[in-house]
Structure 1
Amino acid sequence: MLEFDIQDKLILVSCESHEMGYLSRYSNRFRLVFIVEGTGTAFLEEESYRYEKDSFFLIAPRQDLECISPQRTRVLVIIFGLFRSINHKAEEPVTSFLNLYQHVQQIFLAKNISQGMRISDQTDRESVARLVPLLRNELLHPQGYSKEIAINVVFILVNILTRNIDNASGGPVSEYDSETNRVLNYIKDQVQQNNRLTIRDIAKGLNMSEYNLNKIVIKGTGTTLKSIIARYQVELFAEP
């Protein structure tokens, strides 16, 4: 396992999939996992996904990814630093860490993400296939300007992901229907007031069953209510 810490703003890790358990100390952060080598089945939030080389996974705070395969699976993990919630959209390309965090937040809000997917655009997919090994090489053989190169590669990767997600959804990735927005805004407001909020508390406040609440969140965002709560807790209470 190789780990490259850039002032705690970015942590890059090259390892085999079974070694990801050693990264549990970063479980309160957003993580982006690229499959460098191998095929198999990944488990995330009680769901299973097929993966192959060049697949990627978005891991929200409090989530863990497990890869099962008869052969070796190598991964590159990008761990993002802690940051507070950002209330405006990331409309400009990534050129700074603040900009990066805006885009990361938007990517994790995307409702059309399919875990284990590959970049849909062929040219972008080929670019990612070259950038990930470049990033891994800077970890393996650090030298002059490795930090600067690594930062710029991550910026490019996040820009490519954002563009592909935008194109797939036909617009900004953070757009939800009015009912989903109402629920998410309520959850965020309640989490800000009470960091120990439960699903039962939210359902009671919205005057709906826990089942219907979960159904709205999963249908509208593509992720679970538990993940949404955990993400808001990290965003709102992380160190600036």
Structure 2
Amino acid sequence: MKRYTQFEDLVITDFEVDKWPHPRHNHNHFEIVYIAKGCGRHYLNDIDFCYKKGDLFLLGPDDEHEFKVKQTTRFIYFKFTKLYFNAHTDLPLPGDWNKDIDYLISHPERKTGSLLQFKEDKLMVHQLMEMVVQEYQNTRLLNKKIIFQIFSIVMLILKRNSHACSAKAMDRPASRGVAQDLIEYIELHIYDPAKLTLKAMSAHFNYSDNYIGMLFKEKVGTSLREYVNNFRQQLIRQRLSHGTVAMKQIASEFGFVDESHLYKFIKKNNLR
């Protein structure tokens, strides 16, 4: 498995190909991949699905992927590390961006297709990505801040699309599976411990504590508490592996009392 390493906090590329030039790979950074033209198939981890003009994908460092081009495709890549957030101290807190990225990375829609669902938003994002390319290629005054502002708007549009998909998912028939709904609920509220107690989840889904706990373990193979703890550990381990996020910030994001409490959690669960 090839792994690409990027040292810059931001790299933007715009290219058009008839054949995908890279082997199946992962990388040490995050990628927003926008399809400005063309179609084909996207192989993401153990799933493959069609891509077409207007689709957008968000990839994390642990994702393995490649494309198979069917029709000449123009790709716009927005490749960034967590350091990119820290470079803009006059804008929203890096911790807020970390939460948004984690939420989108864990969103079910991302795993099977494009994060853009609405026609109007696809048109808007197309215009924004064209603006990003122009600003990146022309080193004009304030271009870095303008690019970050455009990035912020794209992220807001992705959140709007993902929240709409989550709302539709909650309206689906019960046959879809309470366990899957619970997993999506946990991913959405992983930074809010008060909403992840058995009592809170039972009230949200209108089931008894015993029933919801037994059902989840039967379908998923682990208890709700174990699943929540394992998911938190996974996210914290990912933060630590990047080495760019302060312990105080991690403690605040995940609801720990202080850094000492976080250190004990890390030691207890062998996260380093």
Same fold (TM over 0.5): yes
| Aligned pairs for 1:195-210 within 5 A | none
Paired residue for 1:78?
Answer: 78
Unaligned runs of 5+ in 1: 84-93, 186-207
Name whichever of 102-111 and 151-160 sits farther off: 102-111
Deviation at 1:180, TM superposition (A): 8.4
The 3-state SS of whatever aligns with 2:238 is helix
Change (3 A) 1:49 1:228: farther
CA contact (8 A) 1:12 1:76 kept: yes
The 3-state SS of whatever aligns with 2:149 is helix
| Aligned pairs for 1:79-118 within 5 A | 79-82=79-82, 95-113=92-110, 115-117=112-114
What is the alpha-carbon distance in structure 2 between the residues aligned to residue 159 and residue 179 of structure 1?
Answer: 19
Paired residue for 1:137?
Answer: 134
Supply the RMSD in Å over aligned alpha carbons. Answer: 4.2
Task: Name the aligned partner's letter for residue 177 of structure 1.
Answer: L
Paired residue for 2:198?
Answer: none
| Aligned pairs for 1:17-36 within 5 A | 18-19=20-21, 27-36=27-36
* Structure-2-length-normalised TM-score: 0.55
Deviation at 1:60, TM superposition (A): 2.3
Structure 1 position 47 matched with structure 2 position 47: yes
Structure 1 position 126 matched with structure 2 position 123: yes
Paired residue for 1:188?
Answer: none
Paired residue for 2:213?
Answer: none
Paired residue for 1:198?
Answer: none
**Bigger RCO of structures 1 and 2 (CA < 8 A, at least 6 apart):** 1
CA contact (8 A) 2:115 2:158 kept: no
Structure 1 position 236 matched with structure 2 position 233: no
* Structure-1-length-normalised TM-score: 0.61
The 3-state SS of whatever aligns with 2:41 is strand
Paired residue for 2:182?
Answer: 177
Change (3 A) 1:56 1:229: farther
What is the alpha-carbon distance in structure 1 between the residues aligned to residue 28 and residue 92 of structure 2?
Answer: 24
What is the alpha-carbon distance in structure 1 between the residues aligned to residue 126 and residue 184 of structure 2?
Answer: 38
Name whichever of 98-107 and 160-169 sits farther off: 98-107
CA contact (8 A) 2:38 2:73 kept: yes
What is the alpha-carbon distance in structure 1 between the residues aligned to residue 21 and residue 232 of structure 2?
Answer: 26
- Larger Rg belongs to: 2
Change (3 A) 1:212 1:119: closer
What is the alpha-carbon distance in structure 2 between the residues aligned to residue 180 and residue 96 of structure 1?
Answer: 24
Task: Name the aligned partner's letter for residue 150 of structure 2.
Answer: V
Deviations 1:100-158 (A, max 9, x none): 22211111122343543262233322211211111112233332222111111100000
Paired residue for 2:147?
Answer: 150
Change (3 A) 1:180 1:228: same
CA contact (8 A) 1:28 1:234 kept: no
What is the alpha-carbon distance in structure 2 between the residues aligned to residue 7 and residue 43 of structure 1?
Answer: 26
Give the structure with the larger helix fraction.
2
The 3-state SS of whatever aligns with 2:71 is coil
Task: Name the aligned partner's letter for residue 182 of structure 2.
Answer: D
Unaligned runs of 5+ in 2: 1-5, 84-90, 169-179, 191-216, 246-272
Change (3 A) 1:177 1:106: same
Change (3 A) 1:32 1:213: farther
Change (3 A) 1:141 1:116: farther
The 3-state SS of whatever aligns with 1:73 is strand
Change (3 A) 1:54 1:139: same
